[in-house]
Structure 1
Amino acid sequence: MKKTDRSGSVGVMLPRDLAPAQVLPYARRADELGFDELWVVEDLGFRGGIAQAAAVLAATERIRVGIGLLPVGARNAAFAAMEIATLAQLFPGRVDIGIGHGMPAWMRSVGEWPASPLTLLDEYLRAVIALLRGEAVEPGEYVALDAVRLEGACVPDVPPLVLAGVRGPRSLAVSGKVADGTILAEPTTPEYARAALEQIDANRPHRLVGYNVAAVHADAAVAIDAVRAGLEWIGEPDWAPHLAPLPFADEFAALRRESGSREEFVRRLPEEWVRQLSVTGTPDDARARLDELFAAGVDSVVLIPVGADPLESLAAVL
């Protein structure tokens, strides 16, 4: 059950490496504890996003399920729309779909990185959204659909939200023009959320979902120590847009350059930076951080659990 009123939604991520026997119990427990949303990921070499979403939707009663995200180079847009429409019809009002470029290194490794990622993203988003509305789609430069549409019986009464999972300014602008919302990867700080919303510049309702690594404990020091492990990657170049709006961005970059490894880097992060780059500390600390994110325009904060017994401890913020 929810314990407090909030101005936004709080979700939790299904860990990508969770043991198979734990996946459905984890989803059911998240539902029971009162999380608003459960998000599944589709990282190369792990589990498929659509299959995970179908399984956890069938295993739960209430919780909204998001897929974050489906890479545009991985599936034909028509067949992706068919899968999405099926989920939306079987579980109406409970599905959100994230679509994005995919990590460049991953997509290159499978031979699916286009010459113009922005063009592909734009065409793919438009095609999937149109198909989910029952509209026909004509060929583009990358999305080569020839008057394709979903059969009337397979068009959802209420199409699910299609969000773009992106981070660069031009990709954010595409999201603002085309998508129903945007997914910001971790770390989503209030500063980054505000900067992203300026670049999105949507002229219609636009849902903003922000991921954050999270650990919560009655002893703030325990939580902060635990959450560091989830921040190892954020010093790498792909995460630069997340850090640019922060007052300590230059110092952060210098620390990463000076550190011989990701482990050393994350160990040397000042506690105040760790607090700014995650949702952590005591339950009161974490709730205060959620309020700051909601005030910055984030509609849904998705917590990426770190540490032992993650669901039970994170539920303390609800």
Structure 2
Amino acid sequence: MRAGVVVTAQPGVEDLAVQAEELGLHSFWVNDTPMVHGDAFVALSLCAKATSRIRLGIGVTSPALRSAPAAASALASLNALAPGRIICGVGTGNTARRTLGMRPTTAATMETFTAALQDLCAGRTIEYREGDRVRDVRFLHTGTQANTADPVEFVVAALGPKAAAVAGRRGTGLISFGLLDPTAWHALHHARSNAARHTPHDPDARTDSYVVTALHILGENEAPDSDAARDATGHLVLSLLAFAADTAADAPAFIDQLGPTERATVRRLLDRRGTTATAPDRHTKLYRDYLGRIAPQDRDLILPSLMNTLALVGTPDDLRARITALHHAGIDELLIQPVIDPPAEMARLTKLLAYLPR
């Protein structure tokens, strides 16, 4: 099982990328969430100049954020700085759009966008449409300015079969956030494989699977719901609770899947943030400090049930068993989002994985 790290864009991110490379991590990703964090492409350009081996990922961009030519230009520019080391995650913009108070795009739009990026980043021509006007576009200058010779790895963000099928048709890998259920991963891989059978694509394209989570290794006699465990995993739990609160009124299917304790916690989050499930400005309240370290007063919102679902918390032996099960389900790389002490958390991850059976 390979390992990597996902962070938010901020000054000094390149120093963290250097540390990740020195630890032997395989990849370093930056979230693409405009108006919440810094710019992912700017951050990764600094990382590209500061490193020489580690793969660099956008996790993840969306057709609702940039046009295909603009996104392809950014990717090809990164590929010129770090040839053959770029990974582009593509999704519907579920987070990046909702933090703007907007809805994500559709899987069909994401598929069209992914196809356009694949073609442009390989130096091919696409049909670019704005309204009724359609024009053929391609890179006019390549080489030192935009690298289309070295391949960019593409992965599709998926929690269900529809997005996994997009990955199959486009010949890409998969990335999922907080999905630690091996059975669910078997279903995603099955959906991708079924879709891939009916669509020709590049046989040399990478189709790796990545899962994003948080990690907390329990100390001796430490409770699984200790303050330290809640602090290390709380950003993932709050992201789920914020999503449930944000969609409770206009798309209640998600919150309806939660248990009574979890639904009550969603209501408490709304009350604590001083908003409601129907307030038009709720995104400005619910997504404050999104994916950052949680405030101590919010520890009570970090339910053990959700910690166990979204994150890896346990003894070294417990965690190795869970990670091994994920590997057997087809996961190629485990990505953690560290928010307490990233260098130390990355070091603990590499040490933990070093003792897995080969």
Bin of the TM-score, shorter chain as denominator length: 0.7 to 0.9
Give the aligned residue type for 1:125: T
CA RMSD of aligned residues (A): 3.2
Give the aligned residue type for 2:5: V
TM-score (norm 2): 0.71
Which of 124, 128, 153 is 2:113 aligned to? 124
Following TM superposition, by how much is the alpha carbon of 1:132 offset from its aligned partner in structure 2, in angstroms? 1.5
2:261 and 2:349 map into 1 onto residues whose CA distance is 29
The reply on whether 1:38 has 2:28 as its aligned counterpart is yes
2:77 and 2:213 map into 1 onto residues whose CA distance is 29
Give the aligned residue type for 2:6: M
Following TM superposition, by how much is the alpha carbon of 1:210 offset from its aligned partner in structure 2, in angstroms? 0.9
Give the aligned residue type for 2:352: V
2:128 and 2:70 map into 1 onto residues whose CA distance is 15
Aligned to 2:75: 84
Aligned to 2:347: 312
2:132 and 2:158 map into 1 onto residues whose CA distance is 19
Residue 61 and residue 142 in structure 1: after superposition, are their counterparts in 2 closer, same or farther (change >3 A)?
farther
Which of 5, 14, 20 is 1:12 aligned to? 5
Aligned to 1:3: none
Give the aligned residue type for 1:25: D
For residues 196-243 of structure 1, the C-alpha deviation after alignment (integer angstroms, 9 at most, x for no partner) is: 222323346622111112222443535644444132333544999xxx
Aligned to 2:215: 214
Give the aligned residue type for 2:310: L
Instruction: Flag structure 2 segments of 5+ consecutive residues without an equivalent.
Output: 198-202, 270-297, 354-358
Equivalent pair of 2:215/2:233 in contact (CA under 8 Å): no
The reply on whether 1:261 has 2:261 as its aligned counterpart is no
For residues 48-95 of structure 1, the C-alpha deviation after alignment (integer angstroms, 9 at most, x for no partner) is: 111111111211232111110112122121121122112223212211
Equivalent pair of 1:12/1:304 in contact (CA under 8 Å): yes
Q: Which moved more, 1:212-221 or 1:292-301?
A: 212-221
Aligned to 1:4: none
Equivalent pair of 1:164/1:179 in contact (CA under 8 Å): no
1:239 and 1:228 map into 2 onto residues whose CA distance is 22
% identity of equivalent residues = 25
Following TM superposition, by how much is the alpha carbon of 1:314 offset from its aligned partner in structure 2, in angstroms? 3.1
2:135 and 2:47 map into 1 onto residues whose CA distance is 34
Q: What's the secondary structure of 2:138's corresponding residue?
A: coil
1:1-318 aligned within 5 A: 8-16=1-9, 20=11, 22-45=12-35, 46-103=37-94, 106=97, 109=100, 117-139=106-128, 146-151=135-140, 153=143, 154-201=146-193, 202-203=196-197, 206-219=207-220, 221=223, 224-230=229-235, 231-235=237-241, 236-237=243-244, 252-259=258-265, 260-262=267-269, 263=298, 266-270=301-305, 274-308=307-341, 309-318=344-353
1:99 and 1:145 map into 2 onto residues whose CA distance is 23
1:295 and 1:28 map into 2 onto residues whose CA distance is 30
Equivalent pair of 2:126/2:136 in contact (CA under 8 Å): yes
2:95 and 2:15 map into 1 onto residues whose CA distance is 33
Following TM superposition, by how much is the alpha carbon of 1:289 offset from its aligned partner in structure 2, in angstroms? 2.3
For residues 244-290 of structure 1, the C-alpha deviation after alignment (integer angstroms, 9 at most, x for no partner) is: 9xxxx96x5232123343557744424xx634531222334333322
Equivalent pair of 2:128/2:137 in contact (CA under 8 Å): no
Give the aligned residue type for 1:294: H
